[in-house]
Amino acid sequence: MKNLSRLFFVAVLIASFSTSNAQDKNNPWAITVGANAVDFYPVGEDAPQGDYFDEYFNAEDHWNVFPSLSTISVSRYLSDGFTFTATGSLNKIDKFGSNTDSFGVETTNKVDDLTYFGLDGRVSYSLMEVIKSKTIDPYVGIGGGYTWLDESGAGTLNGTLGFKIWISEQLGFDIQSTYKHAFENSTKKHFQHSVGLTFKFGGTDTDGDGVYDQDDACPEEAGLEIFNGCPDSDNDGIQDSKDDCPNTAGLAEFNGCPDSDGDGVVDKDDKCPTVAGLKTLAGCPDADGDGVADGDDKCANEAGPAANSGCPWPDTDGDGVLDKDDKCVNEAGTVANNGCPEVKPTEEVVKALNTYARSILFDSGKASFQKQTDQVLQAMVVIFKEYPKADFGIEGHTDSQGPKASNQALSERRANAVRDYLISNGISASRLTAAGFGESNPIANNRTAAGRKENRRVEVKLKN
């Protein structure tokens, strides 16, 4: 009864033990309860004891096993795999080595039931990380204690080997063997083996999210283990502290903000969040590509400048000068005259007309145009349109080859052919006259091919 009181005293004592560290990263404390066996035989002594580790596993002949709960330990993690453990144990000793009789028969050395009581402390190092296991936890330990054998007691130096098998994060199965080297003969050196269940406990989880406070980056706010205990309110896979839109599910590429229309502009910055648009227009579309968002574009399907609300500038008189720059909006004019018609063409303009006219090519002996002449005639049309109030005369000329009457008739037909072309392209007939002069007005020598070529010509004369 006295030794049971001692065991109870040890249980109370070691339960009150504490340090500033943890049993492991989540559970600072552990209690182990179980049974123990004491073996005085394989300790390197003379008979009735034996050599070191001789018949180490001969439990039947040498182990003193207490038939009920006989060991209790409390542990506290220190750091970096080190743990301090305080242990109290109780046993009854009725085997002490072996005797050999005169016939050479070895028998167990029986003794009277001796009460065994031990109070020990040790520092252990876990090899779990070394072997990279999540369930098997081997450890080694060294320490000391005090052991009583009946009324005698002695201090001991202890070395321990053991391993735990973790069934869950809090529950494990513990097996260990401790060598106790006694410093006084009253208590022999011996092995003590034990087996028991270990319960880890003591972790603090203030916010109840399953992540202990010491590992919880947000201990006051429930969160997820993947984010070290910090929350992800919108469940978009981005923790709130890194989420620019923590209450609305979004995309990682936008720091957790949504982009509903998929245009690359997050909704909070998108002026048109339901319609895909352009980044340059804050997420709004521009159907006509004129740089004005459709919502602000009065001509959304027709490109125009922003200064005119996205609509093109009109050109009412079609003279190529926009109304905004045209001083004669309803009357075709020239760019040089700010959209107003030129009253009288300059000498340079008349000279340009004649340059074009003299390059008109007719089919040989006919008044029909060669194909390449069309571009020349179109250039003349443009100039005539720039001076809608000016009248012109179209004159035809030939060289001196052939009958004079034929040349006269040919020149008239060619002058009229030019006049007819201009009229068909929008030049008023009232502004144009046509006349033929045959070979009567040469400008070069008809005796040479080059001279005759120059004489075959059309000329334009300004009439007013």
Find all residues with CB under 8 Å of 67, minimum gap 6, and list them. 35
CATH number of the domain at 88, please: 2.40.160.20
Judge whether 270 lies within some domain: no
In the structure, what pLDDT confidence band is assigned to residue 108 with cuts at 50, 70 and 90?
Answer: confident
In the structure, what pLDDT confidence band is assigned to residue 74 with cuts at 50, 70 and 90?
Answer: very high
For the record, the structure tokens of 3 come out as: 């030794």
Judge whether 230 lies within some domain: no
CA 88 to chain centre: 57
Phi, psi (deg, nearest 5) at residue 322: -65, 145
In the structure, what pLDDT confidence band is assigned to residue 212 with cuts at 50, 70 and 90?
Answer: confident
Domain stop point among 201, 227, 261: 201
Secondary structure of residue 12 in the 3-state scheme: helix
> CA 87, 90, 96 angle in degrees (round to 5)?
115
Judge whether 457 lies within some domain: yes
- List 369's β-bridge partners, or say none: 362
Q: Residue 207's pLDDT is what?
A: 84
- Is the pLDDT at 386 greater than 90? The verdict is no
Question: With contact defined as beta carbons under 8 Å apart, do 68 and 61 qualify?
Answer: no
Q: CA nearest 109: which of 118, 100, 121?
A: 100
Question: With contact defined as beta carbons under 8 Å apart, do 73 and 32 qualify?
Answer: yes
196-220 burial, b at 16+ Cβ within 10 Å, e below that, comes to bebebeebebebebebbeeebebbe
pLDDT, mean of residues 278-294: 88
Question: With contact defined as beta carbons under 8 Å apart, do 228 and 234 qualify?
Answer: no
- Is the pLDDT at 14 greater than 80? The verdict is no
Q: Residue 51's pLDDT is what?
A: 92
For the record, the structure tokens of 82 come out as: 């080190």
Question: With contact defined as beta carbons under 8 Å apart, do 369 and 361 qualify?
Answer: yes
- For the chain, what is the mean pLDDT? 88
- What is the domain range of residue 422? 347-462
In the structure, what pLDDT confidence band is assigned to residue 16 with cuts at 50, 70 and 90?
Answer: very low
Domain stop point among 169, 201, 233: 201
Q: Residue 103's pLDDT is what?
A: 61
pLDDT, mean of residues 272-282: 89
Q: Residue 174's pLDDT is what?
A: 97
Judge whether 258 lies within some domain: no
Give DSSP secondary structure letters for 176-238: EEEEEEESSTTS--EEEEEEEEEEEE----TT-SSS-GGG-SSTTS--BGGGTTB--TT-SSS
From the CB of residue 151, how many other CB atoms can be counted at a distance below 10 Å?
9
Q: What is the pLDDT of residues 141-188, one digit of tens each?
A: 999 999 999 888 999 999 999 999 999 888 999 999 999 999 887 778
Judge whether 272 lies within some domain: no
**Distance (Å, whole) CA 22 – CA 34:** 23
Q: Residue 254's pLDDT is what?
A: 87
Structural domain count, the chain: 2
Find all residues with CB under 8 Å of 143, minimum gap 6, and list them. 85, 120, 121, 122, 123, 158, 160
Q: Residue 280's pLDDT is what?
A: 87
Residue whose structure tokens are 């006084």: 184
**Distance (Å, whole) CA 388 – CA 344:** 9
Which H or E element spans position 63?
none
- Is the pLDDT at 414 greater than 90? The verdict is yes
Secondary structure of residue 416 in the 3-state scheme: helix
Judge whether 373 lies within some domain: yes
Q: Residue 295's pLDDT is what?
A: 85
Q: Residue 6's pLDDT is what?
A: 46
Exposure on the CB side of residue 257, measured as CA atoms within 13 A: 14
**Sheet containing 457-462: which strands, arranged edge to edge?**
432-436, 392-397, 457-462
Q: Residue 428's pLDDT is what?
A: 94
Quick one: angle between helices 347-358 and 374-386, nearest 10? Answer: 160
Exposure on the CB side of residue 263, measured as CA atoms within 13 A: 22
- Is the pLDDT at 135 greater than 50? The verdict is yes
Judge whether 19 lies within some domain: yes
CATH number of the domain at 411, please: 3.30.1330.60
Quick one: angle between helices 374-386 and 404-424, nearest 10? Answer: 60
Judge whether 267 lies within some domain: no
Q: What is the pLDDT of residues 356-382, one digit of tens each?
A: 999 998 888 899 999 889 999 999 999
Phi, psi (deg, nearest 5) at residue 98: -135, 150
- Is the pLDDT at 10 greater than 60? The verdict is no
- List 461's β-bridge partners, or say none: 393
Handedness of CA 307, 311, 315, 318 (dihedral sign): positive
Q: CA nearest 94: which of 120, 119, 122, 66?
A: 66
Judged by average pLDDT, the poorest of 88-102, 135-149, 260-274, 416-430 is: 88-102
Domain stop point among 174, 201, 228: 201
Judged by average pLDDT, the poorest of 10-14, 424-428, 440-444 is: 10-14
Residue whose structure tokens are 């410093």: 183
Q: What is the pLDDT of residues 308-339, one digit of tens each?
A: 888 888 888 888 888 888 889 888 888 878 88
Q: Residue 1's pLDDT is what?
A: 39
Q: Higher model confidence: residue 437 or residue 97?
A: 437
| Ranges 22-26, 43-47, 173-177, 258-262, most confident | 173-177
In the chain, % of residues over pLDDT 90: 51
